[in-house]
A = this chain, B = another copy of it.
């Protein structure tokens, strides 16, 4: 059996997890897949990271050009994260004809259209199952299943940190900042949580998954993005009272030839399969015009789930021919679709008003004048002659709701627009 030599660039959590699998299950992979995979180099800043994970120090390598020049190395795993130097390093490897397996959603979302042509030119592949939803094979599914379907929508809980925080808020009634602090203490959130809590991470992944689902290039910059930092304990209470859970969803939706792409908190009905996806778990809920509704559920991150996806890509890369998405060629691109910023959605709106006659009626009139139809409304007194008004609307145009809110905010009797959260 041929021995395939590979290298790992970046030996943090995911690089180390990949190494664990390749060493601990090497015999199993050899006997069931017919490939023998040996890690020849681990590229990192110092040999210490190797020692920490129990890897042999002799694998240590710090010279990326020497790595690229080593003809024995067939394939390179990139688990450094971030754009640079990952992009430069990957480019070197692809130019040297080595296939690259990456978990780097940020780089992929930003530079897929540059990197794929380099891979193609050099007859090697760029594999990225691990970039989205950890060990859940959703990239494979979108790329290699449903070829007969027009995917109509994907709804994803694809960021574990925010799902952990929202689940904590829902289960324990704590505030956003308390839940964040707990998540940080347990390692579910980073010291600087911006990329997760502001929805950047989810937008990168939606860019990748949406591009695959809709056969088009879905630039991450075009994705509407709103994080969870403004979700309050009161919103969670209101949601529960109305029969919902609040989730940060990544939404890609096809309406005729229009595609919407957005990341924001969403009221999800309690009996929807996504509502019970809690803690750091992830899920992608998909609707195809023929296959109907499907859900993929699993650990969205972590050394071993993500490492599992990487090893799967390594085996795929070593055993078969690379395939390409060709979104920027004219090959397999669905040119009929276009990205739109307006969309239909239900809305939860929470407003603090003066507790006096006529306020509810004035707000309702504004909504109605803008074509926004109310499904449910409650008004309860709060402190200091104020009242809290909660609306749920029927599906309405985003633009109409935003126009309404502008007018509502200008009403003398409206003290504050506390929250606006879309409804699935």
Contacts and interface: CB of A to CB of B under 8 A. Distances in A.
A311 B148 contact: yes
A137 interface: yes
A295 B295 contact: yes
B312 A290 contact: no
A292 interface: yes
A34 interface: yes
Contacts of A304: 290-292
Nearest to A37: B148
B149 A141 contact: no
A118 interface: no
A24 B31 CA distance: 43
Nearest to A35: B147
Contacts of A336: 31
A385 B159 CA distance: 59
A305 B146 CA distance: 10
Contacts of A305: 290-292
A334 B302 CA distance: 28
The 9 residue pairs across chains A and B that have the minimum distance between CB atoms: A148-B311, A135-B291, A294-B298, A291-B308, A137-B145, A147-B315, A295-B297, A290-B304, A32-B215
Contact of A332 (B31, B134, B147, B292): B31
20 contacts: A21-B290, A25-B289, A32-B147, A32-B332, A34-B331, A135-B290, A135-B291, A136-B294, A140-B140, A140-B144, A144-B312, A147-B312, A148-B311, A148-B314, A290-B304, A291-B298, A291-B309, A292-B299, A295-B296, A295-B298
A297 B287 CA distance: 12
A45 interface: no
A276 interface: yes
Contact of A307 (B28, B145, B148): B148
A173 B297 CA distance: 30
Interface in A137-192: 137, 140-141, 144-150
Interface residues of A, number: 57
- A contacts with B: majority SS: mixed
A147 B273 contact: no
Quickly give the copy total for this chain: 2
A120 B12 CA distance: 43
Contacts of A21: 148-149, 290
Given A32-B334, A276-B276, A334-B32, A292 B25 contact: no
A81 interface: no
A252 to B, nearest CB: 15
A179 to B, nearest CB: 21
A292 B135 contact: yes
A120 to B, nearest CB: 15
A11 B92 CA distance: 53
A299 B294 CA distance: 7
Contacts of A334: 28, 31-32
A119 interface: no
A129 B144 CA distance: 12
Interface string A1-44: 00000000000000001001110010011011110000000000
B146 A308 contact: yes
